């Protein structure tokens, strides 16, 4: 039997606030298999953003273990985590996080610079993923020449460019209108159907409904974990 892509055991995350300790995650156990499409939900203060930061190797737990693709990342140093983020995780953010003076192709190719690819390899792969997300005719456009939906497609292409283990999307439709939100979610469906593992953080039920599995957090614990059809 294959090992899970993500295996979290008794993860806790505390923060010091002055002399007070705030217990944000209170012992979470979680497994996510390769190829799953998971939505993380929860009210403000539930711990979902903290869990997302841990899953994305943007933070490390106070205690517990996190094994990602057979590597224990819970004890890694910052430079090791940066390497894992670049290789294993493709991020899509609510605010797109594109560099304004770079065109779409250069924005998408950026993670490949840190991964050590040649300029020729970067341009070929960036063109491939921009075509995949429907922007073959927008590669030389800068972000201010693109609509919100097109900018988010550029961000999705950038997340895919290094062929990561996980696509981690934080409120990816938060800045988009309803019609564009549906288009972006259909794109995530297509990405998932191509075999990618997608983890979506959202507070919107209609966006979470695109996922096959919904994990709900409350007060730093998993409140429910449901899979469609089970």
Query: Does the residue 166 lie in any domain?
Result: yes
Q: Using 50, 70 and 90 to split pLDDT, how confident is the model at 230?
A: low
Q: How large a percentage of the chain has pLDDT more than 70? A: 99
What CATH number is given to the structural domain containing 200?
3.40.50.300
At 6 the pLDDT is: 97
Specify if 9 maps to a domain: no
Residue 43 lies in a domain: yes
- Count how many domains the chain has: 1
Give the domain range for residue 94. Answer: 34-60+78-227
Of 229, 203, 225, residue with least CA distance to 46: 203
Instruction: Report the SS3 class of residue 184.
Output: helix
Distance between CA atoms of 141 and 96, rounded to whole angstroms? Answer: 15
- 16 lies in some domain: no
Q: How far apart are the first and last CA of the chain?
A: 21
Phi-psi label, residue 189: left if phi above 0, alpha if psi -120 to 50, beta otherwise? alpha
Please, which residues bridge with residue 20 across strands? Answer: 17
Confidence of residue 98 (pLDDT cuts 50, 70, 90): very high
> Could you tell me what percent of the chain has a pLDDT over 90?
88
Residue 133 lies in a domain: yes
SS3 57: coil
Residue 10 covered by a domain = no
Q: What is the mean pLDDT of residues 64-81?
A: 93
pLDDT of residue 75: 85
Q: What average pLDDT score do residues 104-115 get? A: 94
pLDDT at residue 8 is higher than 90: yes
What value does the mean pLDDT take over residues 54-81?
Answer: 93
pLDDT at 114: 86
Say how far apart CA 54 and CA 25 lie, in whole Å. 10
The mean per-residue pLDDT over the stretch 169-191 comes to 93
Per-residue model confidence as pLDDT tens digits over 130-164: 999 999 999 999 999 999 999 999 999 999 999 99
Is 66 part of a structural domain of the chain? no
**Assessment of whether the complete model's pTM goes beyond 0.75:** yes
- Whole-number mean pLDDT of the chain? 94
The predicted structure's pLDDT at residue 2: 74
- Whether 69 maps to a domain, the answer reads no
């Amino acid at each position: 039997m294959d090992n899970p892509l993500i295996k979290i055991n008794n993860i806790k995350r505390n923060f010091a606030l002055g002399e007070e300790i705030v217990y944000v995650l209170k012992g979470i156990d979680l497994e996510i298999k390769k190829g799953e499409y998971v939505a993380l939900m929860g009210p403000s203060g539930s711990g979902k953003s903290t869990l997302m930061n841990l899953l994305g190797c943007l933070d490390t737990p106070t205690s517990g273990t996190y094994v990602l693709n057979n590597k224990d990342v819970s004890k890694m140093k910052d430079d090791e985590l940066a390497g894992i983020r670049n290789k294993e995780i493709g991020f899509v953010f609510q605010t797109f996080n594109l560099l304004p003076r770079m065109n779409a192709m250069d924005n998408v190719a950026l993670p490949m610079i840190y991964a050590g690819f040649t300029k020729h390899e970067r341009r070929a792969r960036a063109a491939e993923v921009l075509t995949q997300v429907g922007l073959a005719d927008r590669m030389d456009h800068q972000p201010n020449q693109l609509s919100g939906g097109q900018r988010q497609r550029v961000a999705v292409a950038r997340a895919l460019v290094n062929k990561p283990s996980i696509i981690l999307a934080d409120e990816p439709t938060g800045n988009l209108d309803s019609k564009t939100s549906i288009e972006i979610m259909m794109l995530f469906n297509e990405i998932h159907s191509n075999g990618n593992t997608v983890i979506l953080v959202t507070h919107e039920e209609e966006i979470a409904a695109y996922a096959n599995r919904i994990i709900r957090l409350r007060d730093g614990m998993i409140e429910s974990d449901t899979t469609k059809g089970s």
